[in-house]
Amino acid sequence: MEVTSTGDLPKDPSSAGEILPGPSSYSADRNQKINDPKLSDAFEELFKNVQKGLENTSIGSIFEGLGSTLRLLEPIIKENDLPNLPKEKIDELTELMAKGSGLVSTCLRSRRHLIHMSHHLYAKKLQKLQDSILRIFQVFLPLSSCRESKELLLEVRGLDLEIQKLNNIIQSKARGNGKRTEGVDCCKIPFEPSFIVGLDDSFHKLKQQLLEGGVSKLVISAPKGFGKTTLVKKLSHDSDIEGKFKNIFFLNISKSPAFIDLVRQLIQFHHDGPEVPNIVTEDDAIYHFRLLLAKIGNSLPVLLILDDAPAASEPLLQKFMFEEIPDYKILVTSTSKFPSFGHAHQLSKLNHEDAKKLFLHSAVPHFEDPPLPDEDLTEKIVELCNGSPLLLITVGKSLCGKHPSIWRSRLLEWSQDPPILDSEGEIPDHLGKMHKT
Protein backbone atom coordinates (compact mmCIF):
# COMPACT_ATOMS: atom_id res chain seq x y z
CA MET A 1 0.00 0.00 0.00
CA GLU A 2 1.34 3.43 -0.90
CA VAL A 3 0.93 6.18 1.64
CA THR A 4 1.58 9.81 0.83
CA SER A 5 4.68 10.85 2.74
CA THR A 6 5.01 14.01 4.75
CA GLY A 7 8.71 13.44 5.09
CA ASP A 8 9.34 16.36 2.74
CA LEU A 9 7.23 18.80 4.73
CA PRO A 10 9.12 22.07 5.38
CA LYS A 11 11.76 21.68 8.02
CA ASP A 12 10.79 22.29 11.63
CA PRO A 13 11.78 25.93 12.25
CA SER A 14 13.02 25.01 15.70
CA SER A 15 15.44 22.39 14.35
CA ALA A 16 19.17 22.71 14.96
CA GLY A 17 21.03 25.07 12.65
CA GLU A 18 18.18 27.54 12.04
CA ILE A 19 18.01 30.70 14.13
CA LEU A 20 14.47 31.81 14.93
CA PRO A 21 13.89 35.52 14.32
CA GLY A 22 12.08 37.30 17.13
CA PRO A 23 8.95 39.42 16.79
CA SER A 24 11.03 42.61 16.68
CA SER A 25 12.41 41.63 13.26
CA TYR A 26 8.97 42.03 11.69
CA SER A 27 7.01 45.16 10.93
CA ALA A 28 5.01 46.42 13.86
CA ASP A 29 2.31 47.93 11.67
CA ARG A 30 -0.70 46.01 12.92
CA ASN A 31 -3.00 47.59 10.35
CA GLN A 32 -1.08 46.12 7.43
CA LYS A 33 -2.64 42.91 6.13
CA ILE A 34 -1.34 40.29 3.77
CA ASN A 35 -3.51 39.20 0.88
CA ASP A 36 -2.21 35.85 -0.34
CA PRO A 37 -4.77 33.97 -2.47
CA LYS A 38 -2.56 30.86 -2.61
CA LEU A 39 -2.61 30.58 1.17
CA SER A 40 -6.38 31.12 1.27
CA ASP A 41 -6.97 28.50 -1.42
CA ALA A 42 -4.68 25.97 0.28
CA PHE A 43 -6.42 26.56 3.59
CA GLU A 44 -9.89 26.17 2.05
CA GLU A 45 -8.91 22.88 0.39
CA LEU A 46 -7.37 21.46 3.57
CA PHE A 47 -10.31 22.57 5.71
CA LYS A 48 -12.79 21.01 3.27
CA ASN A 49 -10.97 17.68 3.26
CA VAL A 50 -10.64 17.60 7.04
CA GLN A 51 -14.38 18.24 7.35
CA LYS A 52 -14.99 15.21 5.13
CA GLY A 53 -12.70 13.19 7.35
CA LEU A 54 -14.54 14.23 10.50
CA GLU A 55 -17.78 13.00 8.96
CA ASN A 56 -16.28 9.54 8.45
CA THR A 57 -17.59 7.54 11.41
CA SER A 58 -14.90 4.86 11.24
CA ILE A 59 -11.77 7.04 11.17
CA GLY A 60 -13.02 10.53 12.03
CA SER A 61 -11.26 10.59 15.40
CA ILE A 62 -7.80 11.01 13.85
CA PHE A 63 -8.85 14.35 12.27
CA GLU A 64 -10.18 15.95 15.46
CA GLY A 65 -6.96 17.69 16.53
CA LEU A 66 -6.25 19.14 13.09
CA GLY A 67 -9.89 20.17 12.71
CA SER A 68 -9.78 22.12 16.00
CA THR A 69 -6.63 23.94 14.88
CA LEU A 70 -8.12 24.91 11.51
CA ARG A 71 -11.36 26.16 13.07
CA LEU A 72 -9.36 28.48 15.29
CA LEU A 73 -7.33 29.83 12.37
CA GLU A 74 -10.24 30.11 9.91
CA PRO A 75 -11.25 33.75 10.65
CA ILE A 76 -7.61 34.89 10.57
CA ILE A 77 -6.91 33.28 7.19
CA LYS A 78 -10.23 34.23 5.58
CA GLU A 79 -10.02 37.89 6.64
CA ASN A 80 -6.31 38.12 5.79
CA ASP A 81 -5.85 39.32 9.35
CA LEU A 82 -2.19 38.36 9.41
CA PRO A 83 0.84 40.35 10.45
CA ASN A 84 3.50 41.25 7.92
CA LEU A 85 5.15 37.84 8.07
CA PRO A 86 8.19 37.18 5.89
CA LYS A 87 7.27 35.79 2.51
CA GLU A 88 9.14 32.56 3.20
CA LYS A 89 6.88 31.87 6.18
CA ILE A 90 3.75 32.54 4.14
CA ASP A 91 5.07 30.17 1.47
CA GLU A 92 5.94 27.59 4.12
CA LEU A 93 2.45 27.76 5.57
CA THR A 94 0.90 27.48 2.09
CA GLU A 95 3.05 24.46 1.27
CA LEU A 96 2.20 22.82 4.59
CA MET A 97 -1.52 23.15 3.93
CA ALA A 98 -1.25 21.94 0.34
CA LYS A 99 0.69 18.84 1.35
CA GLY A 100 -1.68 18.32 4.26
CA SER A 101 -4.65 18.41 1.91
CA GLY A 102 -3.00 15.70 -0.19
CA LEU A 103 -2.36 13.58 2.90
CA VAL A 104 -5.97 13.84 4.04
CA SER A 105 -7.24 13.01 0.55
CA THR A 106 -5.02 9.91 0.41
CA CYS A 107 -6.31 8.83 3.80
CA LEU A 108 -9.93 9.24 2.72
CA ARG A 109 -9.39 7.32 -0.52
CA SER A 110 -7.94 4.29 1.25
CA ARG A 111 -10.15 1.25 1.43
CA ARG A 112 -11.80 0.56 4.75
CA HIS A 113 -9.70 -2.48 5.68
CA LEU A 114 -6.46 -0.79 4.61
CA ILE A 115 -7.04 2.42 6.53
CA HIS A 116 -7.46 0.49 9.76
CA MET A 117 -4.20 -1.36 9.10
CA SER A 118 -2.29 1.93 8.70
CA HIS A 119 -4.37 4.00 11.12
CA HIS A 120 -1.46 4.85 13.42
CA LEU A 121 0.73 5.89 10.47
CA TYR A 122 -1.83 8.43 9.25
CA ALA A 123 -2.38 9.64 12.82
CA LYS A 124 1.33 10.36 13.25
CA LYS A 125 1.54 12.23 9.94
CA LEU A 126 -1.55 14.32 10.73
CA GLN A 127 -0.11 15.10 14.13
CA LYS A 128 3.15 16.29 12.53
CA LEU A 129 1.21 18.51 10.13
CA GLN A 130 -0.86 19.97 12.95
CA ASP A 131 2.21 20.68 15.10
CA SER A 132 4.00 22.40 12.21
CA ILE A 133 1.05 24.72 11.51
CA LEU A 134 0.65 25.59 15.17
CA ARG A 135 4.37 26.25 15.56
CA ILE A 136 4.39 28.88 12.81
CA PHE A 137 1.57 30.80 14.44
CA GLN A 138 2.93 30.45 17.95
CA VAL A 139 6.57 31.28 17.19
CA PHE A 140 6.38 33.69 14.25
CA LEU A 141 3.15 35.50 15.03
CA PRO A 142 3.85 38.69 17.04
CA LEU A 143 1.45 39.36 19.85
CA SER A 144 0.62 42.85 18.63
CA SER A 145 -0.32 41.67 15.14
CA CYS A 146 -3.39 39.59 15.94
CA ARG A 147 -6.96 40.73 16.03
CA GLU A 148 -8.12 40.50 19.65
CA SER A 149 -4.56 39.40 20.36
CA LYS A 150 -4.93 38.62 24.06
CA GLU A 151 -7.97 36.44 23.53
CA LEU A 152 -6.40 34.69 20.55
CA LEU A 153 -3.18 33.98 22.41
CA LEU A 154 -5.14 32.43 25.25
CA GLU A 155 -7.12 30.38 22.74
CA VAL A 156 -3.96 29.17 21.01
CA ARG A 157 -2.37 28.23 24.31
CA GLY A 158 -5.53 26.49 25.44
CA LEU A 159 -5.80 24.76 22.10
CA ASP A 160 -2.18 23.65 22.40
CA LEU A 161 -3.08 21.87 25.63
CA GLU A 162 -6.10 20.26 24.01
CA ILE A 163 -3.99 19.24 21.02
CA GLN A 164 -1.46 17.67 23.35
CA LYS A 165 -4.24 15.68 25.02
CA LEU A 166 -5.47 14.49 21.63
CA ASN A 167 -1.92 13.69 20.59
CA ASN A 168 -1.47 11.63 23.73
CA ILE A 169 -4.64 9.73 22.89
CA ILE A 170 -3.47 9.15 19.32
CA GLN A 171 -0.02 8.03 20.45
CA SER A 172 -1.53 5.76 23.06
CA LYS A 173 -3.78 4.15 20.47
CA ALA A 174 -0.96 3.95 17.93
CA ARG A 175 1.17 2.09 20.46
CA GLY A 176 -1.67 0.25 22.06
CA ASN A 177 -2.59 -2.65 19.79
CA GLY A 178 -2.27 -4.81 22.87
CA LYS A 179 -4.57 -2.54 24.79
CA ARG A 180 -7.20 -2.65 22.07
CA THR A 181 -6.93 -6.42 21.98
CA GLU A 182 -7.42 -6.54 25.73
CA GLY A 183 -10.57 -4.47 25.42
CA VAL A 184 -11.86 -6.65 22.60
CA ASP A 185 -10.98 -9.96 24.24
CA CYS A 186 -12.68 -9.11 27.50
CA CYS A 187 -16.03 -8.81 25.68
CA LYS A 188 -15.84 -12.29 24.22
CA ILE A 189 -18.07 -14.99 25.65
CA PRO A 190 -15.97 -17.24 27.93
CA PHE A 191 -15.82 -20.95 27.26
CA GLU A 192 -18.71 -23.02 28.53
CA PRO A 193 -17.76 -25.08 31.61
CA SER A 194 -17.39 -28.76 30.80
CA PHE A 195 -19.15 -29.98 33.95
CA ILE A 196 -22.34 -28.37 35.28
CA VAL A 197 -24.78 -29.65 37.89
CA GLY A 198 -27.82 -28.24 39.62
CA LEU A 199 -28.61 -25.39 37.22
CA ASP A 200 -31.10 -27.00 34.85
CA ASP A 201 -34.25 -25.41 36.31
CA SER A 202 -32.76 -21.92 36.37
CA PHE A 203 -31.32 -22.40 32.90
CA HIS A 204 -34.66 -23.27 31.29
CA LYS A 205 -36.54 -20.50 33.11
CA LEU A 206 -34.05 -17.78 32.15
CA LYS A 207 -33.72 -19.08 28.60
CA GLN A 208 -37.47 -18.77 28.13
CA GLN A 209 -37.44 -15.20 29.45
CA LEU A 210 -34.61 -14.23 27.12
CA LEU A 211 -36.28 -15.73 24.06
CA GLU A 212 -39.66 -14.19 24.78
CA GLY A 213 -40.49 -10.53 24.33
CA GLY A 214 -41.43 -8.15 27.09
CA VAL A 215 -38.68 -8.54 29.67
CA SER A 216 -35.70 -6.33 28.77
CA LYS A 217 -33.57 -6.76 31.89
CA LEU A 218 -32.87 -9.73 34.14
CA VAL A 219 -30.83 -10.17 37.31
CA ILE A 220 -29.38 -13.43 38.61
CA SER A 221 -28.65 -13.07 42.31
CA ALA A 222 -26.88 -15.49 44.65
CA PRO A 223 -23.99 -15.64 47.13
CA LYS A 224 -20.46 -15.95 45.80
CA GLY A 225 -19.66 -19.26 44.19
CA PHE A 226 -23.26 -20.36 43.57
CA GLY A 227 -22.85 -20.67 39.79
CA LYS A 228 -24.08 -17.32 38.47
CA THR A 229 -21.27 -16.91 35.94
CA THR A 230 -21.42 -20.60 35.04
CA LEU A 231 -25.12 -20.22 34.28
CA VAL A 232 -24.72 -17.20 31.99
CA LYS A 233 -21.87 -18.92 30.15
CA LYS A 234 -24.15 -21.89 29.53
CA LEU A 235 -26.94 -19.58 28.33
CA SER A 236 -24.56 -17.71 26.01
CA HIS A 237 -23.53 -20.94 24.28
CA ASP A 238 -27.06 -22.30 23.91
CA SER A 239 -27.93 -22.71 20.23
CA ASP A 240 -31.37 -21.08 20.58
CA ILE A 241 -29.91 -18.05 22.37
CA GLU A 242 -27.15 -17.73 19.76
CA GLY A 243 -29.76 -18.10 17.04
CA LYS A 244 -31.78 -15.16 18.31
CA PHE A 245 -29.06 -12.83 19.59
CA LYS A 246 -26.59 -12.27 16.80
CA ASN A 247 -24.79 -9.76 19.02
CA ILE A 248 -23.86 -11.01 22.50
CA PHE A 249 -21.59 -8.80 24.63
CA PHE A 250 -20.06 -10.27 27.80
CA LEU A 251 -18.47 -7.90 30.32
CA ASN A 252 -17.15 -8.65 33.78
CA ILE A 253 -17.65 -5.38 35.63
CA SER A 254 -16.29 -6.31 39.06
CA LYS A 255 -12.81 -4.88 38.37
CA SER A 256 -13.51 -2.13 35.84
CA PRO A 257 -16.77 -0.39 36.68
CA ALA A 258 -15.91 2.84 34.82
CA PHE A 259 -18.77 3.38 32.36
CA ILE A 260 -16.61 5.18 29.77
CA ASP A 261 -14.08 2.33 29.66
CA LEU A 262 -16.83 -0.27 29.35
CA VAL A 263 -18.45 1.54 26.42
CA ARG A 264 -15.07 1.81 24.66
CA GLN A 265 -14.61 -1.95 25.03
CA LEU A 266 -18.09 -2.66 23.66
CA ILE A 267 -17.59 -0.45 20.61
CA GLN A 268 -14.16 -1.98 19.92
CA PHE A 269 -15.58 -5.48 20.22
CA HIS A 270 -18.44 -4.81 17.81
CA HIS A 271 -16.13 -3.31 15.19
CA ASP A 272 -13.52 -6.04 15.72
CA GLY A 273 -10.92 -3.68 17.10
CA PRO A 274 -10.83 -0.33 15.22
CA GLU A 275 -10.43 2.90 17.10
CA VAL A 276 -13.37 4.21 19.10
CA PRO A 277 -14.76 7.75 18.89
CA ASN A 278 -13.29 10.38 21.18
CA ILE A 279 -15.24 9.64 24.38
CA VAL A 280 -14.40 12.05 27.19
CA THR A 281 -17.48 12.30 29.39
CA GLU A 282 -20.20 9.89 30.48
CA ASP A 283 -22.65 11.83 28.31
CA ASP A 284 -20.40 11.07 25.33
CA ALA A 285 -20.35 7.40 26.32
CA ILE A 286 -24.14 7.23 26.64
CA TYR A 287 -24.58 8.90 23.25
CA HIS A 288 -22.15 6.61 21.42
CA PHE A 289 -23.43 3.45 23.09
CA ARG A 290 -27.01 4.31 22.20
CA LEU A 291 -25.83 5.02 18.66
CA LEU A 292 -24.27 1.55 18.53
CA LEU A 293 -27.46 -0.07 19.82
CA ALA A 294 -29.62 1.86 17.37
CA LYS A 295 -27.36 0.78 14.53
CA ILE A 296 -27.36 -2.95 15.29
CA GLY A 297 -30.44 -3.33 17.48
CA ASN A 298 -32.96 -2.30 14.86
CA SER A 299 -32.10 -5.31 12.72
CA LEU A 300 -30.34 -7.80 15.03
CA PRO A 301 -31.27 -8.51 18.67
CA VAL A 302 -28.63 -7.62 21.26
CA LEU A 303 -27.86 -9.38 24.55
CA LEU A 304 -25.59 -7.54 27.00
CA ILE A 305 -24.28 -9.66 29.90
CA LEU A 306 -22.86 -7.71 32.85
CA ASP A 307 -21.20 -10.27 35.08
CA ASP A 308 -20.34 -9.92 38.77
CA ALA A 309 -21.85 -6.47 39.30
CA PRO A 310 -20.77 -4.89 42.62
CA ALA A 311 -23.41 -4.16 45.25
CA ALA A 312 -23.30 -0.39 44.68
CA SER A 313 -23.37 -0.52 40.87
CA GLU A 314 -27.08 0.10 40.23
CA PRO A 315 -26.43 3.68 38.94
CA LEU A 316 -23.86 2.21 36.54
CA LEU A 317 -26.28 -0.47 35.34
CA GLN A 318 -28.98 2.11 34.67
CA LYS A 319 -26.73 3.89 32.17
CA PHE A 320 -26.92 0.79 29.96
CA MET A 321 -30.73 0.82 29.89
CA PHE A 322 -32.49 1.98 26.71
CA GLU A 323 -36.08 0.80 26.77
CA GLU A 324 -36.79 2.23 23.32
CA ILE A 325 -34.31 -0.11 21.59
CA PRO A 326 -36.21 -3.20 20.36
CA ASP A 327 -34.85 -6.68 21.11
CA TYR A 328 -32.17 -5.35 23.46
CA LYS A 329 -31.82 -7.28 26.71
CA ILE A 330 -29.49 -6.95 29.69
CA LEU A 331 -28.58 -9.92 31.88
CA VAL A 332 -26.83 -9.07 35.17
CA THR A 333 -25.22 -11.36 37.74
CA SER A 334 -24.54 -10.13 41.26
CA THR A 335 -24.61 -11.02 44.93
CA SER A 336 -27.08 -8.13 45.26
CA LYS A 337 -30.55 -7.37 43.96
CA PHE A 338 -31.28 -4.19 42.01
CA PRO A 339 -34.86 -2.87 42.45
CA SER A 340 -34.84 -0.86 39.22
CA PHE A 341 -34.21 -4.09 37.30
CA GLY A 342 -37.28 -5.79 38.71
CA HIS A 343 -37.53 -9.19 40.37
CA ALA A 344 -34.20 -11.02 40.62
CA HIS A 345 -33.86 -14.71 39.84
CA GLN A 346 -32.38 -16.28 42.97
CA LEU A 347 -30.07 -19.28 42.69
CA SER A 348 -30.44 -21.87 45.44
CA LYS A 349 -27.81 -24.05 47.03
CA LEU A 350 -27.35 -27.51 45.54
CA ASN A 351 -29.40 -30.43 46.73
CA HIS A 352 -27.49 -33.29 48.32
CA GLU A 353 -27.35 -35.44 45.19
CA ASP A 354 -25.97 -32.67 42.97
CA ALA A 355 -23.61 -31.53 45.72
CA LYS A 356 -22.14 -35.01 45.97
CA LYS A 357 -21.64 -35.19 42.19
CA LEU A 358 -19.80 -31.87 42.16
CA PHE A 359 -17.64 -32.79 45.15
CA LEU A 360 -16.58 -36.15 43.72
CA HIS A 361 -15.87 -34.56 40.33
CA SER A 362 -13.31 -32.32 42.06
CA ALA A 363 -12.00 -34.80 44.63
CA VAL A 364 -11.68 -37.94 42.49
CA PRO A 365 -10.22 -37.24 39.01
CA HIS A 366 -11.24 -39.71 36.33
CA PHE A 367 -7.70 -40.29 35.12
CA GLU A 368 -6.49 -41.57 38.52
CA ASP A 369 -7.50 -44.48 40.67
CA PRO A 370 -6.86 -43.45 44.28
CA PRO A 371 -8.31 -45.47 47.12
CA LEU A 372 -11.84 -44.15 47.58
CA PRO A 373 -12.90 -43.13 51.07
CA ASP A 374 -15.89 -44.85 52.55
CA GLU A 375 -19.36 -43.59 51.65
CA ASP A 376 -20.09 -42.30 55.15
CA LEU A 377 -16.99 -40.06 55.11
CA THR A 378 -17.95 -38.58 51.74
CA GLU A 379 -21.52 -37.94 52.88
CA LYS A 380 -20.35 -36.07 55.99
CA ILE A 381 -17.96 -33.83 54.05
CA VAL A 382 -20.63 -33.02 51.46
CA GLU A 383 -23.13 -32.22 54.21
CA LEU A 384 -20.62 -29.90 55.87
CA CYS A 385 -20.30 -27.88 52.63
CA ASN A 386 -24.00 -26.98 52.89
CA GLY A 387 -24.72 -27.03 49.14
CA SER A 388 -22.23 -24.28 48.20
CA PRO A 389 -20.78 -25.09 44.75
CA LEU A 390 -17.63 -23.05 45.34
CA LEU A 391 -16.99 -24.70 48.70
CA LEU A 392 -17.62 -28.18 47.31
CA ILE A 393 -15.10 -27.57 44.52
CA THR A 394 -12.52 -26.01 46.87
CA VAL A 395 -12.80 -28.75 49.48
CA GLY A 396 -12.79 -31.44 46.79
CA LYS A 397 -9.61 -30.09 45.20
CA SER A 398 -7.92 -29.77 48.61
CA LEU A 399 -8.55 -33.49 49.19
CA CYS A 400 -7.80 -34.64 45.64
CA GLY A 401 -5.24 -37.47 45.64
CA LYS A 402 -5.00 -37.50 49.44
CA HIS A 403 -5.17 -40.68 51.50
CA PRO A 404 -8.51 -41.40 53.23
CA SER A 405 -6.80 -40.83 56.59
CA ILE A 406 -6.21 -37.20 55.59
CA TRP A 407 -9.86 -36.90 54.61
CA ARG A 408 -10.81 -38.02 58.13
CA SER A 409 -8.42 -35.61 59.84
CA ARG A 410 -9.65 -32.70 57.72
CA LEU A 411 -13.28 -33.58 58.43
CA LEU A 412 -12.54 -33.63 62.15
CA GLU A 413 -10.80 -30.26 61.91
CA TRP A 414 -13.62 -28.62 59.97
CA SER A 415 -16.31 -30.13 62.20
CA GLN A 416 -14.72 -28.55 65.26
CA ASP A 417 -14.67 -25.08 63.72
CA PRO A 418 -18.07 -24.44 62.08
CA PRO A 419 -19.28 -22.78 59.97
CA ILE A 420 -17.02 -23.90 57.16
CA LEU A 421 -18.32 -21.01 54.97
CA ASP A 422 -18.21 -17.52 56.48
CA SER A 423 -21.16 -15.13 56.59
CA GLU A 424 -20.08 -13.32 53.40
CA GLY A 425 -19.87 -16.51 51.37
CA GLU A 426 -16.06 -16.39 51.31
CA ILE A 427 -13.82 -19.43 51.51
CA PRO A 428 -11.87 -19.31 54.80
CA ASP A 429 -8.11 -18.73 54.53
CA HIS A 430 -7.17 -22.14 55.87
CA LEU A 431 -9.17 -23.83 53.10
CA GLY A 432 -7.56 -21.68 50.46
CA LYS A 433 -4.15 -22.67 51.76
CA MET A 434 -5.10 -26.35 51.78
CA HIS A 435 -6.25 -26.07 48.18
CA LYS A 436 -2.81 -24.74 47.18
CA THR A 437 -0.89 -27.46 49.03
| Rounded-to-10 torsion of CA 48, 168, 129, 32 | 80
Number of other residues whose CB lies within 10 A of the CB of residue 432 = 12
- For residue 75, what pLDDT is reported? 75
User: Could you tell me the pTM of the whole model?
Assistant: 0.55
Residues 210 and 218 sit within 8 Å (Cβ to Cβ)? yes
- For residue 287, what pLDDT is reported? 87
In 85-158, where do the E strands start and end? none
Taking only Cα atoms into account, the Rg of the chain, rounded to an integer number of angstroms, comes to 31
Count Cα atoms within 13 angstroms, Cβ side, for 125: 23
- For residue 227, what pLDDT is reported? 92
Q: What are the angstrom distances between the C-alpha of 165 and each of 127, 143, 159, 170, 373?
A: 12, 25, 10, 9, 65
pLDDT tens for the chain, 437 residues long, are: 333 434 444 444 333 333 333 333 333 343 444 567 888 888 889 888 888 887 775 666 677 778 777 887 777 777 665 655 677 878 888 898 898 888 888 887 765 544 544 556 777 788 888 878 877 766 555 433 444 444 444 454 555 555 554 554 444 444 333 333 344 455 777 777 788 999 999 999 999 999 987 678 999 999 998 999 999 999 999 999 998 988 888 988 887 678 888 888 888 877 654 566 788 888 888 888 888 888 776 668 889 999 999 988 899 999 998 887 878 899 999 999 998 888 899 999 999 999 999 999 888 866 455 556 778 889 999 998 989 999 999 999 888 888 888 888 888 888 776 555 544 445 555 454 444 43
Task: Give the CATH fold of the 200-346 domain.
Answer: Rossmann fold (3.40.50)
DSSP line for 337-359? --GGG-SPEEPPPPPHHHHHHHH
- For residue 258, what pLDDT is reported? 85
Give pLDDT tens digits for 136-170: 766 555 433 444 444 444 454 555 555 554 554 44
Residues 347 and 228 sit within 8 Å (Cβ to Cβ)? yes
- For residue 322, what pLDDT is reported? 86
- For residue 106, what pLDDT is reported? 83
**Domain locations in the chain as residue ranges:** 23-175, 200-346, 352-436
